Structure 1
Amino acid sequence: MAAAASCSPSVSVLLVMAVVVVVAAAPCSAVDPVNTYCGKNMSSAQAQVSVGQVLSELVPRASAGYYATAAAGRGDSAIWGLAQCRGDIPAPDCALCAAAAARQLAGACRGSADARVWYDYCFMRYDDVDFRGLPDTGYALVLLNTQNATDPEAFDRAQRKVMARVAADAGSDGGGGLARETARVEKGVSIYGLGWCTRDITAADCGLCVAQAVAEMPNYCRFRRGCRVLYSSCMARYETYPFFFPLDGQTTAAAGDYDMVVLNP
């Protein structure tokens, strides 16, 4: 299996209980991947044809409805795919992101039977095993802001409350797998929290997935001004600047530098 960070090159590899790749990563736009995963070799040449068919179906359908699944082929040529845009983004950005994701998977992961790509605005994957409906937290990305909060303890308390609400909201039946929360920490400092899930999993599983992502944050991001934990079924994120829609009218601050940790157990 291989993991490739697309926003910047890898600078070190640590071997511990999991394989961890640390990279210096700047926040990426809607058409720049946060990370790409390519794993398992194709079992047949026809499977690559199935990949092309799946990707070509996912792009227009996800662009139109923010979510799509597709399947093609039979036996050892069977491929299943999923694409989803973040529910708060404008429709043109969804279309751009879905198209970029398909190009990335077709190029970077050609010959791979399991491929996934994460963007700020969307997520896309395909596999030679039908993964749809199964919560997947087996592969994780953690992005952490290199800057600490000016009042770390107060910030940490506020951040935990915000993200606990995000996890609870994500698991609600009426949330559609998208949760957004904001809290003011002190004058001029607010915390913006977001959680979202792929629509193939249930609301209950979405809440559990986001809660697991939130639970990882103290392990890597305590006192940090921003953090993201991304799985293949959900993600959780907080920042000190508005990054989700609708924007609250504040001027978006510079995001700063980020480190990325790739957990591949």
Structure 2
Amino acid sequence: MFSLQLHSTHRIILALRLSYLLVFISSLPNSHSYPSRTHITIYASCSQEKYQPNTPFEINLNNFLSSVATSSSEVTYDTFSIGNGTSTTQDGAVYGLYQCRGDLHPIDCSKCIGRSVNQISLVCPYSLGASLQLQGCYVRYEHSGDFLGKLDTSIRYKKCSKDVSSDVEFFRRRDDVLEDLQTANGFRVSSSGLVQGFAQCLGDLSVSDCSTCLVDAVGKLKSLCGSAAAADVFLGQCYARYWASGYYDESDSHNNDQVGKSVAIIVGVFGGLAVLVVLLSICKKAAG
């Protein structure tokens, strides 16, 4: 009898903890309270190749994600190679990196990376390679380390505003901003009149490769988005963005966070089912 009560008490505590988790998830800061909307999802990319559960790769991947979450509270960029020390673990090796936007405070960087770490396995389940770009941070891992330090200017994401401008002054200011951004070494913010922008390279690029990447990104902004009042282009290892002051509003950002909404739904459903299963188990034991 005592054993039954102990198990029931344990299940009640577990149910309460799961309920608390759901409440916590539902209370995560929205774009009105989270600095610079860093939690908004830009894009996700998942490899077609999958790994099997309970394999060395999964163990190393979990270690990588844990290391990323810990490191982000101290530095805004880092690279990792886990499980590549011996030939016996080579098949399970994980290579990866993370980077926060250059203007983020370490606390906000850590929050952003924590959100990415929680999302990437849900967005890309059992993928041998994945990348997730949020407004404020980026996480990527692969089975091979060939991508580290290698220039990649392929387009990962672009967005051109529907609003366009025919103002000659706007184009002059925009071009001033873009010219400044393409000379950045790492992260740079620029403004001219009512036009603002920023650009960033991944930390594993050399100065010359960073310049090459940003020149390409700026060129694509102009060629792909033309007279757009705001535009974003994310390449494999850098990005550049500009906008007319006040263009990016809250509703526009919410419409773009489709991956984030999907993850919230997945977590909510599984969390609700877990609580239901525990409660049903308690009722069954009590009835018995």
TM-score after normalising by structure 2: 0.68
Contact 2:51 2:58 in 1 (8 A): no
Aligned to 1:241: 245
Runs of 5+ in structure 1 lacking a partner?
1-27, 172-176, 185-189, 243-251, 261-265
Q: How does 1:145-224 map to 2 (within 5 A)?
A: 145-149=161-165, 151-168=166-183, 170-171=184-185, 177-184=186-193, 190-224=194-228
For these two proteins, the number of residue pairs brought into alignment is: 212
Aligned-pair CA distance for 1:155: 2.0
Contact 1:63 1:98 in 2 (8 A): no
For residues 236 and 114 of structure 2, what CA distance do their matches in structure 1 show? 19
Asked if 1:60 corresponds to 2:70, the answer is yes
Aligned to 1:70: 80
For residues 116 and 214 of structure 1, what CA distance do their matches in structure 2 show? 22
Contact 1:72 1:80 in 2 (8 A): yes
Q: How does 1:104-119 map to 2 (within 5 A)?
A: 104-119=119-134
Runs of 5+ in structure 2 lacking a partner?
1-35, 84-88, 257-288
Contact 2:47 2:127 in 1 (8 A): yes
SS in 2 for 1:113: coil
Amino acid at match of 1:156: F
Aligned to 2:282: none
For residues 205 and 148 of structure 1, what CA distance do their matches in structure 2 show? 32
Larger radius of gyration: 2
Aligned-pair CA distance for 1:257: 4.1
Contact 2:221 2:231 in 1 (8 A): yes
Of Structure 1 and Structure 2, the greater strand share is in 1
Contact 2:155 2:233 in 1 (8 A): no
Q: Deviations over 1:36-78 (max 9, x none)?
A: 1111313553212221111111112123110111122232211
Of Structure 1 and Structure 2, the greater helix share is in 2
RMSD: 2.2
For residues 104 and 253 of structure 1, what CA distance do their matches in structure 2 show? 24
Aligned-pair CA distance for 1:256: 6.5
Aligned to 1:128: 143
Contact 2:64 2:94 in 1 (8 A): yes
Aligned to 2:101: 86
Aligned-pair identity in percent equals 24
Contact 2:81 2:94 in 1 (8 A): yes
Contact 1:29 1:119 in 2 (8 A): no
Amino acid at match of 2:117: A
